[in-house]
C-alpha cells in the first residue's frame, strides 16, 4: 500500500501549519478529509490529537520496534497511508467531535526530513495554542470501559471526608478486583509510554482522554490520581496489590505526567537535563526522538543547543548535543546520565548518553526546579566550570578533576541473576573517615537516601529517617534469626519472601566500615537513639508497638531509599567513606571529582584511559571538600581521558 497524496509546501516565513477537516459521513467506509493551511501566529480554533502510531494495546513485541498496521485516508481524491489506531481515532472524531484538527501523521509531510525537523521546533506552540488536546487511548478492549468508569468514580469520591475508608472497602471487595485489573491494563497502554505524548499532554491548555466510547477530563484523572497517592501507603499492601493486579510502579507514568503538567502549567520551568532525565523511561520508534520529542518542554533555549535534524544519524545527534551542551553550559553532569543504565548502543563512548529507555536508575539530582538552591544542593566540584577537549574524532572526552578515592567493599546485589555480578566484596581496609560511631551511622542513614526526601517535593532527609532506618533494620534482623549467617561474610542469597528493604539490608549488613560491621553499627546507634527518646509519643511518631510501616514518615523514607538504590549498591572506599553508586561498580574503581560536575563519578581504568561507570553519592565529599583540599595543597588536579 502506498500514498498518492502530494503535500503543498508550508510557508516558513508566515509560520504555517496544516489543519485537518474531517468530512462528516459516518456511514461511509472510507475516511475522507480536507487539509487547509493556517498561520500559527493567528490560528483558527483547532483541537490537537495525541495518540500513538503503534497499536494502542501492547503486544509481545518490543514496543519501540513494533510494526505499524496501516489503513488509508482520502484527501481530495488522493490517498494517504495512516496507522490503524489513527484510523480508529478519526472514526471517533467523525462522529463525536467537529472542527479543525492538528494531527502529526497527516499535518506533517513525513517524507520531507527538513519539514519534519522544522515542525518539531513548532510543537510547543502547536499544542499550547490548541483549543483542546484530545488524548486517544484506543478502542475499547480488556474491560477498558470498566477502568474508565473506575477512574471517574475515584475522581467523584476524592474530596469526600471518608475517601480513604471508602477506597479501602472498594479494593478489599472481590467483586471489584476485575475493575482494578482493568485499570492496570489501561495504564499499560502504549500511549502512556511514548516520548511524544509527554509534551502533547503537558503543554495543552485543556486535555480530555478518550478510550472507546468513554471520556475523562484531565481534572478528573488528576483527582483520581491524588486519591490513589494519598491512600497508597495506608491500604495498598503487598497482598492487596497481588489481588487487584496493580502496583505502584504501574501508576508511575500517569503520576509523573500529571506532576510534570502541573509543574509547567503553573508557569515554572526546568533545565534541559532535568527534562531529559525525568522523562528517560519513555519510548520512541525513532531513537532520535528520545531527544527531539522533549525539546518543546524546555523551549527555544533547548532547540538552540539541539536543532532537530533527521538527516543525521542517532550517534551524530547524541554526540553533537552533548558537545554543544557542555560547551554552552560548562556543565559536565550530562555524562552522568550515560551511566544510569546499561548502554543500548555498544559503539557509543561510555560518557555519551544515548537517551534510551532501558529502565534507568533515578538521577541523584532529583529536583525539577532550576533554582540552584533547591535540594539536593550537591556541590562536589564547588562551582567549578567544565574544562574539556574532544579528541580522536570526538570519541575521547578529556576533562580535569581530582582523584579522591577508590572502591573497596561492595554489598551484594540481590536483583542480579548472574552469580559473579551479584557477589559482594568485603572491605579490605580498616580506615574510617568518620570520627565517631555516631558520625558513621549518620553517614549510612544519609547515604541510603542520598541525603534526600523524594516523596513529594525534594528536600533534605529529615533526622527521623535515621530512627526509621535503624528500627526497620532491627525488624529485618529478627526475621533473619533463623537464617544461617556468618558475621562478616557477605551472603549471596536473600530470605524467600523478603521485602525490597530486607533484601537491601541483608546485602549490606555484613559490610565492614573501619573496624565495625554495619549491622553492629546500627544496633549500637539504635540503642543510643531509643535511650534519648521520650517514653510516650503519638502512634504516628512512635512506631515501636505498631511497626515502622505505620510511622507517618515511612512512605517518604521507603520511596526515597527505593529510588536512590534502584540499580545501585552501597560501597566503602579505601579511605573509609560510605557511598552508593552503580550496581556495576567493583573494587579498585576510582572515584573522581570532575570540574564542572556537581556529583562524584566512578571511573574504571582502561589502559591509559577510563570508562565511565556512573555517578555516585559519597558521604563526606558532596560539598566541595575535595576542591578545598586542592586549594590547601593537600590534593592535586589531573586530566583524565574518558573513552
Q: Are 427 and 506 in contact (CB under 8 A)?
A: no
Q: Are 461 and 580 in contact (CB under 8 A)?
A: no
Over the chain, what is the mean pLDDT?
Answer: 88
* Beta strand extents in 126-263 (DSSP E only): 132-138, 207-211, 214-217
DSSP 487: T
- Residue 613 is predicted with a pLDDT of 96
Q: Are 190 and 52 in contact (CB under 8 A)?
A: yes
* 304 CB-contact burial (10 Å; exposed 0-12 / middle 13-18 / buried 19+): exposed
- Residue 536 is predicted with a pLDDT of 46
Confidence band, pLDDT 50/70/90 cuts, at residue 225: very high
Query: Which among 449, 466, 476 has a CA at the least distance from the CA of 547?
Result: 476
| CA distance linking residue 571 with residue 587, whole number of Å | 9
Confidence band, pLDDT 50/70/90 cuts, at residue 59: low
* Residue 288 or 54, more confident: 288
Provide DSSP, 58-74: --SS-GGGPPPPEEEEE
- Residue 455 is predicted with a pLDDT of 86
| CA distance linking residue 488 with residue 511, whole number of Å | 7
In Å, what is the CA distance from 88 to each residue of 18, 46, 51?
Answer: 21, 19, 11
DSSP 305: H
pLDDT at 249 over 90: no
pLDDT at 246 over 60: yes
Average the pLDDT over 482-510 and give the result: 82
- Residue 491 is predicted with a pLDDT of 75
Count how many residues are written for the chain: 643
Task: Say which range, 113-127, 160-174, 247-261, 399-413, has the weakest mean pLDDT.
Answer: 247-261
| CA distance linking residue 571 with residue 93, whole number of Å | 56
Classify 22 as helix, strand or coil. strand
User: Virtual CA dihedral for 197, 201, 202, 204, nearest 10 degrees?
Assistant: 130
Q: Which cell numbers in the block locate residue 427?
A: 572491605
- Residue 539 is predicted with a pLDDT of 41
Q: Which cell numbers in the block locate residue 625?
A: 571538600
Average the pLDDT over 358-376 and give the result: 69
Based on C-alpha coordinates, what's the Rg of the chain?
Answer: 27
507-556 pLDDT, tens per residue?
999 999 999 999 999 999 999 998 887 654 544 444 444 578 778 899 89
Q: Which cell numbers in the block locate residue 626?
A: 575535595
CA distance from start to end of the chain: 46
Q: Can you name the residues that pair with 517 across neighbouring β-strands?
A: 512
In Å, what is the CA distance from 402 to each residue of 130, 592, 628, 640?
Answer: 51, 6, 11, 9
- Which residue reads 499535518 in cell numbers? 107
211-223 pLDDT, tens per residue?
998 999 999 999 9
| CA distance linking residue 199 with residue 187, whole number of Å | 18
* Residue 14 or 520, more confident: 520
- Residue 70 is predicted with a pLDDT of 84
| CA distance linking residue 79 with residue 250, whole number of Å | 39
- Residue 315 is predicted with a pLDDT of 92
157-211 pLDDT, tens per residue?
998 988 988 998 888 888 999 999 999 999 999 999 899 999 999 999 999 999 9
pTM of the model: 0.87
Q: Which cell numbers in the block locate residue 131?
A: 483549543
**CA count, 13 A, side-chain hemisphere, 143:** 14
* Residue 227 or 540, more confident: 227
Domain boundaries, the chain: 16-254, 272-387, 401-642
Residue 87 zone, left/alpha/beta (φ > 0; ψ -120 to 50; rest): alpha
In Å, what is the CA distance from 467 to each residue of 32, 461, 524, 565, 605?
Answer: 66, 12, 12, 19, 39
| CA distance linking residue 253 with residue 280, whole number of Å | 11
Provide DSSP, 488-540: TPPPS---TT--HHHHHHHHHTT-EETTEEHHHHHHHHHHHHHHHS-S---TT
Classify 167 as helix, strand or coil. helix
Helix (H) or strand (E) holding 298: none
- Residue 63 is predicted with a pLDDT of 42
Dihedral sign computed on CA atoms, order 430, 434, 440, 444: negative
- Residue 421 is predicted with a pLDDT of 67
User: Virtual CA dihedral for 122, 123, 124, 127, nearest 10 degrees?
Assistant: 120
- Residue 542 is predicted with a pLDDT of 47
Helix and strand numbers (H, E) in the chain are: 21, 21
Percentage above 70 pLDDT, the chain: 91
Any idea what the Cα angle at residue 315 is, between residues 312 and 319, rounded to 5°?
100
319-358 pLDDT, tens per residue?
999 999 999 999 999 999 987 766 666 789 999 998 876 6
Query: Which among 19, 259, 264, 10 has a CA at the least distance from the CA of 126?
Result: 19
Classify 132 as helix, strand or coil. strand
Q: How many beta carbons lie within 10 A of that of residue 596, not counting itself?
A: 22
61-114 pLDDT, tens per residue?
334 445 567 888 899 889 999 999 999 999 999 988 789 999 999 999 999 999
Contacts 24+ apart (CB under 8 A), 63-72: 63/190, 63/193, 63/283, 64/283, 64/284, 64/285, 64/357, 65/285, 66/285, 70/1, 71/31, 72/1, 72/30, 72/31
| CA distance linking residue 594 with residue 601, whole number of Å | 8
Q: Are 483 and 519 in contact (CB under 8 A)?
A: no
- Residue 230 is predicted with a pLDDT of 82
**CA count, 13 A, side-chain hemisphere, 580:** 26
106-125 pLDDT, tens per residue?
999 999 999 999 999 999 99
In Å, what is the CA distance from 311 to each residue of 227, 315, 423?
Answer: 46, 12, 45
The backbone torsions φ and ψ at residue 311, rounded to the nearest 5 degrees and listed phi first, read -80, -15
Amino acid at each position: 500500500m502506498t500514498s498518492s497524496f502530494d503535500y503543498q509546501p508550508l510557508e516558513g516565513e508566515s509560520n504555517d501549519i496544516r489543519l485537518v477537516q474531517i468530512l462528516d459521513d459516518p456511514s461511509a467506509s472510507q475516511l475522507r478529509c480536507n487539509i487547509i493551511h493556517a498561520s500559527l501566529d493567528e490560528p483558527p480554533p483547532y483541537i490537537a490529537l495525541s495518540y500513538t502510531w503503534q497499536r494502542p494495546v501492547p503486544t509481545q513485541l518490543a514496543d519501540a520496534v513494533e510494526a505499524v498496521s496501516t489503513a488509508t485516508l482520502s484527501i481530495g481524491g488522493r490517498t494517504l497511508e495512516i496507522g490503524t489506531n489513527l484510523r480508529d481515532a478519526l472514526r471517533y472524531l467523525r462522529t463525536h467531535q467537529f472542527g479543525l484538527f492538528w494531527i502529526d501523521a497527516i499535518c506533517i509531510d513525513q517524507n520531507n526530513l527538513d519539514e519534519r525537523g522544522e515542525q518539531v521546533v513548532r510543537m510547543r506552540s502547536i499544542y499550547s495554542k490548541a483549543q483542546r488536546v484530545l488524548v486517544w487511548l484506543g478502542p475499547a478492549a480488556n474491560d477498558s470501559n470498566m477502568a474508565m468508569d473506575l477512574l471517574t468514580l475515584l475522581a467523584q469520591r476524592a474530596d469526600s471526608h471518608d475517601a480513604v475508608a471508602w477506597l479501602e472497602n472498594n479494593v478489599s471487595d472481590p467483586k471489584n478486583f476485575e475493575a482494578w485489573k482493568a485499570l492496570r491494563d489501561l495504564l499499560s497502554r502504549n500511549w502512556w509510554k511514548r516520548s511524544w505524548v509527554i509534551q502533547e499532554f503537558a503543554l495543552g491548555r485543556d486535555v480530555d482522554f478518550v478510550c472507546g466510547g468513554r471520556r475523562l477530563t484531565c481534572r478528573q484523572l488528576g483527582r483520581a490520581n491524588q486519591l490513589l497517592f494519598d491512600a497508597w501507603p495506608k491500604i495498598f499492601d503487598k497482598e492487596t496489590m497481588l489481588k487487584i493486579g496493580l502496583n505502584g510502579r504501574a501508576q508511575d507514568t500517569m503520576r509523573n505526567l500529571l506532576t510534570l503538567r502541573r509543574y509547567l502549567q503553573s508557569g515554572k520551568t526546568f533545565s534541559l537535563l532535568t527534562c531529559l532525565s525525568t522523562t528517560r523511561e519513555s519510548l520512541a520508534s525513532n531513537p532520535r526522538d528520545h531527544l527531539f520529542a522533549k525539546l518543546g518542554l524546555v523551549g527555544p533555549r533547548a532547540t538552540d543547543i539541539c536543532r532537530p535534524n533527521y538527516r543525521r544519524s542517532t550517534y551524530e545527534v547524541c554526540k553533537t548535543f552533548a558537545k554543544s551542551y557542555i560547551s554552552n553550559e560548562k556543565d559536565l553532569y550530562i555524562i552522568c546520565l550515560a551511566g544510569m543504565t546499561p548502554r543500548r548502543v555498544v559503539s557509543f563512548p561510555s560518557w555519551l548518553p544515548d537517551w534510551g529507555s532501558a529502565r534507568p536508575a533515578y538521577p541523584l539530582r532529583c529536583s525539577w526546579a532550576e533554582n540552584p538552591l533547591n535540594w539536593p544542593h550537591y556541590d562536589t566540584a564547588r562551582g567549578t566550570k567544565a574544562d574539556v577537549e574532544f579528541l580522536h574524532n570526538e570519541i575521547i572526552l578529556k576533562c580535569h578533576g581530582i582523584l579522591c578515592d577508590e572502591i573497596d567493599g561492595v554489598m551484594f546485589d540481590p536483583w542480579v541473576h548472574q552469580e559473579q555480578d551479584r557477589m559482594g566484596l568485603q572491605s579490605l581496609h580498616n580506615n574510617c573517615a568518620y570520627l565517631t560511631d555516631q558520625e558513621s551511622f549518620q553517614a549510612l542513614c544519609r547515604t541510603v537516601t542520598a541525603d534526600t526526601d523524594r516523596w513529594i517535593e525534594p528536600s533534605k532527609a529529615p533526622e527521623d529517617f535515621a530512627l526509621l532506618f535503624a528500627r526497620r533494620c532491627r525488624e529485618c534482623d529478627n526475621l533473619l534469626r533463623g537464617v544461617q549467617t556468618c558475621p562478616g561474610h557477605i551472603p549471596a542469597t536473600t530470605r524467600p519472601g523478603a521485602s525490597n528493604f530486607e533484601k537491601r539490608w541483608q546485602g549490606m549488613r555484613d559490610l565492614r566500615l573501619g573496624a565495625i560491621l554495619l549491622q553492629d553499627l546500627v544496633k549500637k546507634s539504635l540503642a543510643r537513639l531509643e535511650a534519648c527518646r521520650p517514653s510516650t509519643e503519638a502512634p504516628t511518631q512512635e512506631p515501636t508497638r505498631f511497626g515502622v510501616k505505620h510511622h507517618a514518615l515511612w512512605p517518604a523514607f521507603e520511596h526515597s531509599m527505593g529510588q536512590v538504590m534502584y540499580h545501585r549498591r552501597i560501597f566503602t572506599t579505601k579511605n573509609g567513606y560510605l557511598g552508593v553508586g552503580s550496581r556495576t561498580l567493583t573494587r579498585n574503581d576510582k572515584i573522581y571529582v570532575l570540574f564542572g560536575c556537581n556529583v562524584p563519578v566512578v571511573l574504571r581504568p582502561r589502559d591509559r584511559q577510563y570508562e565511565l561507570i556512573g555517578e555516585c553519592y559519597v558521604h563526606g565529599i558532596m560539598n566541595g571538600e575535595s576542591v578545598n583540599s586542592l586549594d590547601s595543597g593537600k590534593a592535586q588536579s589531573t586530566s583524565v581521558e574518558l573513552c
